[in-house]
């Protein structure tokens, strides 16, 4: 489809739902199907859209934040529209020792873009990534998640030319939205200055640990002091759930009294 047409996410979700459910059925825990499902959506939409994140969260009984936290961890999943060829060059130690610095400079110069950027024609997205676990064949990269090894300027020239001519053997990414110049996903700007995510400052949810951006722990401590009821409830709930292990830890910490309690688990569950 043309990238100017509005993408019908509802139709895609309806189509993929049976495959998603089949994936969920393969695992003991539904959340174990998260990554393969995200790949399904990325394969069809070209990236992991916010709609896909919400859909999968509902399907797996997770929050959107939990799904996004997983998706954002992997360089295999793209959270913004990208080019038809995503070029991810390894900048890990072994690749660096084998000349990755000059390979990366060559890519940047050849494409005219930096890391996490896309060319204006929407053909190439470029990223410098951490170790791709193919150190024995450094220098290496992935093209649309397929490995390419032993990079040289000549190999890069032929690769880019074949991609421009449409003859490169790796399938181009689906492109359902026009990529921006950068596909970097910015963090909440307030985090770097010690702020918190919106909505968590006044949260009374005992499972909400206070959001992010609290490196000193001062905001969290304030929660304990001003909202102690929430934390008492939380602690009780965890104690019931984890009673056995907590009781065992308490026993281990206790100085030996010769009472015979240590290590026998007799208090577990109380």
Of the pair 24, 140, the CB lying nearest ligand FES is at: 140
Q: What track of x and - describes contact with ligand FES for positions 81 through 120 (by CB under 6 A)?
A: ---------x-xxxx-------------------------
Which part of the chain contacts ligand FES (CB under 6 A), choosing from 120-128, 129-137, 166-174, 262-270?
Answer: 129-137
- 47 within 8 A of 81, measured Cβ to Cβ: yes
- 151 within 8 A of 178, measured Cβ to Cβ: no
Query: In the complex, which residue's CB is closest to ligand FES?
Result: 92
In this structure, the dihedral spanned by the alpha carbons of residues 260, 263, 265 and 270, taken in order and rounded to 10 degrees, is 80
**Measured in whole angstroms, how far is the alpha carbon of residue 226 from the centre of its chain?**
34
* Phi, then psi, of 7 in degrees rounded to 5: -80, 135
Considering only CA atoms, give the Rg of the chain: 25
Q: Under rule CB under 6 A, which residues in 227-246 are in contact with ligand FES?
A: none
The DSSP call for residue 203 is -
Of the pair 88, 175, the CB lying nearest ligand FES is at: 88
CB of 102 to ligand FES, least distance (A): 14
Q: Per rule CB under 6 A, is residue 138 in the interface with ligand FES?
A: yes
Of the pair 34, 90, the CB lying nearest ligand FES is at: 90
Nearest CA to 90 out of 122, 136, 56 is that of 136
Q: Per rule CB under 6 A, is residue 146 in the interface with ligand FES?
A: no
Of the pair 42, 139, the CB lying nearest ligand FES is at: 139
d(CA 249, CA 231): 20
Which token pair is 145?
A: 């998640």
CB of 42 to ligand FES, least distance (A): 22
Binding site for ligand FES (CB under 6 A): 90, 92-95, 131-135, 138, 140
């Amino acid at each position: 489809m043309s990238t100017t047409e509005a993408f019908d996410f509802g139709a895609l979700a309806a189509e993929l739902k049976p495959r998603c459910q089949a994936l969920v059925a393969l695992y003991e825990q539904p959340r174990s199907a998260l990554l393969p499902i995200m790949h399904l959506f990325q394969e069809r939409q070209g990236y992991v859209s916010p709609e896909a994140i919400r859909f999968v969260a509902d399907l797996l009984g997770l929050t959107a934040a939990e799904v996004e936290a997983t998706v954002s961890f992997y360089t295999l999943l793209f959270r913004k529209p990208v080019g038809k060829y995503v070029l991810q060059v390894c900048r890990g130690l072994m690749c660096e020792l084998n000349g990755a610095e000059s390979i990366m400079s060559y890519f940047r110069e050849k494409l005219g873009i930096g890391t996490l950027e896309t060319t204006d024609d929407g053909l190439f997205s470029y990223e410098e990534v951490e170790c791709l676990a193919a150190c024995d064949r450094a220098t290496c990269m992935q093209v649309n998640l397929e490995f390419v090894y032993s990079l040289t300027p000549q190999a890069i020239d032929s690769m880019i030319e074949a991609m421009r001519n449409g003859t490169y053997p790796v399938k181009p990414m689906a492109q359902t939205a026009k990529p921006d110049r950068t596909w970097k996903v910015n963090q909440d700007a307030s985090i770097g200055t010690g702020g918190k995510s919106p909505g968590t400052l006044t949260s009374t949810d005992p499972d909400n640990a206070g959001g992010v951006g609290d490196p000193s722990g001062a905001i969290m401590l304030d929660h304990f002091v001003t909202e102690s009821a929430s934390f008492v409830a939380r602690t009780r709930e965890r104690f019931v759930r984890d009673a056995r292990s907590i009781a065992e830890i308490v026993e281990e910490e206790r100085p030996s009294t010769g009472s015979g309690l240590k290590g026998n688990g007799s208090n577990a569950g109380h």
